Amino acid sequence: MCRVLVVSLMIVGASSLPAAYGYNAQQEQRYLYVALPGSDDADPDRSVRILVFDITHAHRFVRRIPLWPAEGGEDSETVRGTAASPRTGRLYISTTRRLAAIDLKTDTVLWQQRYEDHCCERIAVSPDGQTVYAPAFGSAKWYVVHAATGQLRATIGVTGWPRDTKYSSDGRRTYLAAWESPILSVSDTARHEVVKTVGPFSASLCPFTVNAKATLAFANVDGLVGFEVGDLQTGLILDRVAADGYDKDAAAKYECPSHGIAFTPDERELWVADGVRNRLLVFDARVYPPTPLASIALTSQPRWIAFSRDGRSAYASTGDVVDAAARKIAGALNDAAGATVKSEHFLEIDFLEGQPIR
């Protein structure tokens, strides 16, 4: 998936999945975990929950993991992020009201915490599974959290409204993006403080991704269908790549008209959301700057993109499952009632003999 991609329950762990779901304890099982509700107001079930889909068997629905019941009022609880660690076998979920850790073998909530009576945007967990970086919901700071207990270790102040977080593959840096700020902050994870900034980009930062070498950041910015590139070593902005036929006036009607960007696992392609024309844009990332290859029409406006670990499937927040090689919709994520599942929060988790391994 994305590189960086459960209290009072009837428990159905991966090791107890029935044969009807195609489970074989001697084979690897690949599941897509989708967290709801997101920001889609059309979702009639406002309870916080996770839906699990079997990637190997045409993404068929496996089970529902209930977390917290829906609460009345306009300020309903919504999911803002998910992350997982195979080292600790835990899934982390952030909502507007809490951060929680879930045991992937039993689907049970191990702990849940609130910070300053609310919680968090898009989280990231360290490669060793020991630390969670959680952007505060509605406050200009990141929470640094002990992943085993939820205890607050530190806070990191920034400018803007924290939105998105990524860890470097070696765990030494985190990259922090805030709305209403054109600056990408880089934190030293040993000291939990900002040691470098990248930018300014041309406008407020939207979703971003980082290449495997952690030398470049590719970021959606407000007002642009496309992306800009920042140098993580020098802090300079290198390039601005607009989509073919980019209409500045049309894009201006949207907050972050491109709200989703991801590399394929082999980093040969860079995929970008086009929320103006409801499509995914495919760029050739073997050259620099990446050049356009194709576009893929979707069923509605995309707000996030991620890939299966093998790169064969691309997932959009629209619920569409895209065949990455054929570059066309191959199916959809449908729940037990057959309704299409729309969410920005999904990640692949692979099991072997009931143990999460990737």
Structure-token pair, residue 131: 């630390």
Q: Determine phi and psi for 46, rounding to 5 degrees.
A: -90, 10
Q: What distance in Å separates the CA atoms of residue 14 and residue 31, rounded to the nearest whole number? A: 10
Residue matched to tokens 């159905």: 12
Q: What is the pLDDT of residues 228-239, one digit of tens each?
A: 999 999 999 999
In this prediction, residue 76 carries a pLDDT of 87
CA distance 243 to 202: 16
Q: What is the pLDDT of residue 26?
A: 63
The CB-based long-range contact list for 300-304 (8 Å cut-off, 24+ gap) reads 300/342, 301/275, 302/259, 302/260, 302/273, 302/274, 302/275, 302/278, 303/39, 303/259, 303/260, 303/273, 303/275, 303/344, 304/207, 304/259, 304/260, 304/273, 304/344, 304/345, 304/346
- From residue 74, alpha-carbon distances to 44, 48, 84, 114, 334 in Å are 14, 15, 30, 20, 27
* Dihedral pair phi/psi, residue 227, rounded to 5°: -160, 165
What are the CA-CA distances from residue 215 to residues 96, 123, 255, 306 (Å)?
A: 32, 21, 27, 21
Q: How confident is the model at residue 39, as a pLDDT?
A: 78
What is the secondary structure of 42-81 as a DSSP string? T-S--SEEEEEEETTTTTEEEEEEEEE----SSS---EEE
Q: Note the pLDDT of residue 74.
A: 67
For the whole model, what pTM was predicted? Answer: 0.91
Distance CA 354, CA 148 (A): 21
Cα distance between residue 89 and residue 107, in whole Å: 11
Q: Which residues of the chain have pLDDT under 50?
A: 1-25
